[in-house]
Structure 1
Amino acid sequence: MIKSASYTLAVNVDDKNYKFQRALGCKILNLHYRADWLEIDNILAREKNLFDISLYMLSDSQANGMLKQWINGNRSNVMFMKLYAEDTFSDAETFKDIVSKAWEPSEKDEGPEGSGETEKLACIRRKCDGQMAKVKIISNRLSFYFFG
């Protein structure tokens, strides 16, 4: 088995029923192309050392599930989460059954000027310890930033 602290994978699995369920044991996981071959329903609990995760081609319900894992799970090392939609994220579906509050960005939160894209900004709170995270959705990209 290959051991690494960081994985960047571009995998396409033809079998729609296949789900890889073992822990990778990495700190950084970047899955390009599709993540449907990887069981992500409990990935934050399974990957104890995970610090930064990027997943592509997700549905609204999968993005919702990733946020709920962080909210409802035990203490997690995840500081950054980048989720990319198949098309665009729906705020209503992505935040379904998630309590969030408005996030007023500071100057250090500001991105490049002139993108012209509408963004949804929210803060979510982890239940086990009350830690907060910032969530930003711009079209097909959801960015999650943990702050303590």
Structure 2
Amino acid sequence: MEEPPRIPKFRLLKYPFPLREEVIRNMEFMDAFYFSTLSKRSKRLVHNAKYPVISIDFMFETNSKDDRIRVATDDDLLNISLSDSNVPPVRYPNTFDGLKLASLINEPSDDYRRKLSAHLLFLFHFKEVSVHIERNIEHLHDLFLWSIRKTFHCIFVWPTRSISMKPEDLQFVLNSLESKTYCLNFSLDDSNYKYRESLGCENLDVDGSTQWLDTDDFLKRNPQMKELYIDDLPGKQVNDLLKQWINGKVIDLKNMYFFNPAGYPDEVILDGIVTMETKLTEQQAKNRLEDLDDGDNMVDIQRKIDGQFATVIFSPGGCFVEISHE
């Protein structure tokens, strides 16, 4: 009897390196992951191909059973469950079981989450790597992620309003990790605590409780700061930050946004500050601040060391400082 013709095998590992890279970069994300678990050589091949991915977000949810990794590619958004449960959360579409995926990785580990996360971070070229903390984690020092990576593009700390964060947990996040951006929205259980160290970030967004943030010499301690967004900061502290910019050294700060539903009195914000008519046109201001209303008050201030101007804009929503002019 005549045997049926055999389907020729696609021997990817025998192809020239540039072709192998191109094939891998055109795979679906999960196909590239599965391919990487076949052997050490296939794992290295996916790594060397620098498979581009938009972002990976480590989500530590209000309920730990819903912890997950969220991956955004050019074509899809998928979730990988980090719960010990074999049943992925049904509220997240396109969810893969992290425990099963980790079982495919032939590497020893006492924590499947650490093994899976390390494998993903090694394999793929993520443009952004972020962490979302939406609950108090009792043992931050033992959290698996910190032993894998200490530098991130953004760290969000948003525990529920019913939970107060401990100063030592805040210190750990800000001192042990590096991030370009911190988005912090929480209440602290110690109203007298002040964080007086350098943040090391370029962008800071503080909502909720702000009393923990020591603004004395803030710009001197954080010369790399580019954007500052703070809600409900007392007007005297806003005034002090403006004076720090006026009297300080040259830094790359682009803007400072101070949000306050009640607005800020001009006489408090500009107390002891020399002002002049703004060089920023109303249209330029509107282009940079979408919710600017006609008639919002605008004045310029000037940095002493180099004469750079900044425009201070007063609106019902707060006080906004635009430093870079066109």
Distance 1:114 1:51 in 2: 21
Unaligned runs of 5+ in 2: 1-175
Distance 1:114 1:68 in 2: 24
Please give the TM-score of this superposition, normalised by the length of structure 2. Answer: 0.42
Could you tell me which residue of structure 1 aligns to residue 284 of structure 2? 108
Instruction: Compute the displacement of 1:122 (Å).
Output: 0.5
Contact 2:194 2:213 in 1 (8 A): yes
Contact 1:71 1:127 in 2 (8 A): yes
1:77 lines up with 2:231 in the alignment: no
Name whichever structure is richer in strand by fraction. Answer: 1
- The structure 1 segments of at least 4 consecutive aligned residues displaced by more than 6 Å after TM superposition are none
Please give the TM-score of this superposition, normalised by the length of structure 1. Answer: 0.89
Instruction: Compute the displacement of 1:34 (Å).
Output: 2.7
Instruction: Compute the displacement of 1:115 (Å).
Output: 4.5
Give the 3 Å change call, closer, same or farther, for CA 138–114 of structure 1 in structure 2.
Answer: closer
Match for residue 59 of structure 1 among 220, 223, 234: 234
CA deviation digits over 1:61-92, x for unaligned, max 9? 11111111110111121111101237320111
Give the 3 Å change call, closer, same or farther, for CA 106–89 of structure 1 in structure 2.
Answer: closer
Instruction: Compute the displacement of 1:112 (Å).
Output: 5.1
Select the structure of larger CA radius of gyration. 2
Contact 1:6 1:28 in 2 (8 A): yes
Could you tell me which residue of structure 2 aligns to residue 147 of structure 1? 324
1:137 lines up with 2:314 in the alignment: yes
Name whichever structure is richer in helix by fraction. Answer: 2
Could you tell me which residue of structure 2 aligns to residue 13 of structure 1? 188
Secondary structure of 1:54's aligned partner: strand
Contact 1:59 1:86 in 2 (8 A): no
- Superposition RMSD on alpha carbons, in Å? 2.0
What amino acid is the match of 2:214? E
Instruction: Compute the displacement of 1:14 (Å).
Output: 3.3
Distance 1:108 1:82 in 2: 17
CA deviation digits over 1:24-76, x for unaligned, max 9? 10001111113210111111110121100111111111111111111011112
Contact 1:32 1:55 in 2 (8 A): yes
Distance 2:234 2:324 in 1: 26
What amino acid is the match of 1:52? E
Q: Of the two structures, which has the highest relative contact order with CA contacts closer than 8 Å and spacing of 6 or more?
A: 1
Distance 1:30 1:71 in 2: 22
Contact 1:101 1:124 in 2 (8 A): yes
Unaligned runs of 5+ in 1: none
Secondary structure of 1:58's aligned partner: coil
Larger CA deviation: 102-111 vs 57-66: 102-111
Instruction: Compute the displacement of 1:128 (Å).
Output: 1.0
Give the 3 Å change call, closer, same or farther, for CA 46–105 of structure 1 in structure 2.
Answer: same
> Percent same amino acid among aligned pairs?
27
The alignment of Structure 1 onto Structure 2 pairs a total of residues equal to: 147
Give the 3 Å change call, closer, same or farther, for CA 113–42 of structure 1 in structure 2.
Answer: closer
